[in-house]
Chains A and B, each alone.
Chain A
Amino acid sequence: MTKLISYLQYPFVRNALIVGVLIALCASLLGVTLVLKRFSFIGDGLSHVAFGAISIAAVAGITNDTLFTMIVTVVSAVLILGGGRYAKIKGDASIAMISVSALALGYLLTNVFSTSSNVSGDVCSTLFGSTLILTLSRADVILCITVSIVVVALFIFFYNKIFAVTFDEDFARATGTRADVYNYLIAIIIAVIVVLAMNLVGSLLISALVVFPAMSAMRVFKSFKKVTICSAVLSVICAFSGMVIAILAGTPVGSTIVVTDIVAFVLFSIVGKITEGRI
């Protein structure tokens, strides 16, 4: 405990905790929708795209790589999700194609053009998250906080519409809701979250942030509102405790958070079995 308090003296530790918690919160909000739309791997797919984009940015010498990555990822997300159920290539196949292409291209470019002496080290930290979260600049922190507030605000504002479009897209369309607009909105938000979350858990582990809190909440709660609130709270708690454990025990931040999420899932599954939906 004293160790933790002494760590908290450092501003970069506090920043990391704030940013991590916000990213986890945002990721979990859309989790329910993505899980239910059978898009669980969207986070994974998009993070591979982001990985490719970062490599291209590095090779091309683009200085503002976060912005570049965000734009590329948003465009890919729109392509994947926007087509919806009427797309020619169905959801999971298009995700698989776009993501592996980006991953391969990214690694190839990094390998061929890299100026760094430690290519596999760089790649590894992009894939599994690095200590990057502890070295965030003030600008990064501000960007992250701003984007998180926008995401949460959009989610609350469009909550009922997101519910309607997720539960029954055809009905929503038939009764005059502009489902396409909301599909694009969901796609854009998730892309932005993925780019932010790469800092926290790395591109291979993002799906965990999206999927686990939602799945855990669904074990116990039976209404959309309760599931959403529960998964948001759970995600924040897991991210926070995961980071604290990582800092104290010196373990990798990303994987520690994911393990915390897994533990929570197991606990919730047990609770769900005991209560049998009486909550």
Chain B
Amino acid sequence: MALIKCSDLTLGYENIVLAEHLNLEVNSGEYWCITGENGTGKSTFMKTVLGLRKPLAGTISYGDGLEKNNIGYLPQQMQYQKDFPASVNEVVISGFQGKTGLRPFYNKAEKEQARRNIEKFGLAELADRCYRELSGGQQQRVLLARALCATGKVLLLDEPVTGLDPKVTEEFYELIKKINREDNITVIMISHDLEACRKYATHVLNFGEKITTEEIKHD
């Protein structure tokens, strides 16, 4: 069964339709890149999949044991995060928030997992540092570690490399690839970087005049 299945989806705002008749199945372990011009509905699509927006028509269903609180998300950076007094530790562990229900504090297993994620992305030495004082690449790794606290199945990323320099961008892509291959986490990424899409993705979803999907074969 598909991890995420979109049936005859119509996306948009109140009276502006951005995309119609979108049918899509994302299966476990795949790596999707979403491309297209600005304003064609890429971000809206992602927000709809995340449940932040309601689709104008059609349905999205989760399968394969995927639950609402089991989705990892790496949003576009918002301005106010940049002056937020929060340590790396605090940000990463907040990824578990959706799973705690009414329990007020994080348990041992969650703290342990957060620590492992911090180490995994080479952030151990920065764990007590302030998030806002990190470089762009470090900040993205922190948000990635947080997203992986929230999920073991699927990771959605909204233009994650915006503002990163080429070297850091390359490192970041390698990191995503590793998560995708080694941890078998499905990746859905909005990107303007067509070259990287062809290099890493298994599937491309392009928003344009028409919505097209393409499978990319890697040797």
Contact = CB atoms under 8 A, between A and B. Distances in A.
Interface centre among B50, B78, B94, B128, by most chain A C-beta atoms within 10 angstroms, is B94
Contacts of B128: 223
B121 interface: no
A158 interface: yes
Contact of A158 (B73, B99, B104, B130): B104
Given A36-B80, A175-B98, A277-B130, A160 B105 contact: yes
Interface of A: 32, 36-38, 156-161, 163-164, 166-168, 170-177, 217-218, 221-227, 277
Nearest to B69: A176
Given A173-B51, A222-B85, A223-B90, A160 B130 contact: no
A156 B78 CA distance: 26
Interface of B: 47, 50-52, 67-73, 75, 78, 80-81, 83-87, 89-91, 94-95, 97-100, 104-106, 128-130, 132-133, 146-147, 150-151, 156
Contacts of B146: 171
Given A164-B94, A173-B52, A224-B90, 20 more contacts: A38-B80, A160-B100, A160-B104, A160-B106, A167-B91, A170-B52, A171-B146, A171-B147, A172-B98, A173-B50, A174-B51, A174-B73, A176-B98, A177-B97, A217-B85, A222-B85, A222-B129, A223-B90, A224-B86, A227-B85
13 contacts: A32-B85, A36-B83, A156-B104, A160-B94, A160-B106, A167-B81, A170-B78, A173-B50, A174-B156, A175-B71, A175-B150, A176-B71, A223-B90
B97 A161 contact: yes
A225 B52 contact: no
A277 B133 contact: yes
B86 A167 contact: yes
Contacts of A177: 97-98
Given A222-B130, A277-B133, A175 B87 contact: no
A223 B87 contact: yes
- The secondary structure that dominates the A interface is helix
Nearest to B72: A175
A226 B129 CA distance: 12
Contacts of B106: 160
Contacts of B50: 170, 173-174
Contacts of A36: 80, 83-84
Given A37-B80, A175-B97, A223 B86 contact: yes
Contacts of A218: 85
A176 B99 contact: yes
Contacts of B69: 175-176
B87 A222 contact: yes
B53 to A, nearest CB: 9
A256 B50 CA distance: 49
Nearest to B95: A175
A159 B104 contact: yes
Contacts of B91: 167
Contact of A167 (B51, B94, B105, B150): B94
A36 B78 CA distance: 12
B45 to A, nearest CB: 13
B25 to A, nearest CB: 21
Interface centre among A156, A163, A171, A225, by most chain B C-beta atoms within 10 angstroms, is A171
Contacts of B80: 36-38
Contact of B94 (A32, A163, A217): A163
Given A156-B104, A159-B104, A223-B90, A168 B98 contact: no
Nearest to B158: A170
Contact of B97 (A157, A172, A222): A172
Contacts of A159: 104
A52 B98 CA distance: 39
A169 to B, nearest CB: 9
B87 to A, nearest CB: 4
State the 9 A-B residue pairs at the shortest beta-carbon distance, nearest first: A176-B69, A176-B98, A222-B130, A175-B98, A223-B87, A174-B50, A164-B97, A174-B73, A175-B150
A164 B91 CA distance: 8
A163 B87 CA distance: 12
A223 B72 CA distance: 23
Contact of A174 (B52, B67, B84, B100): B52
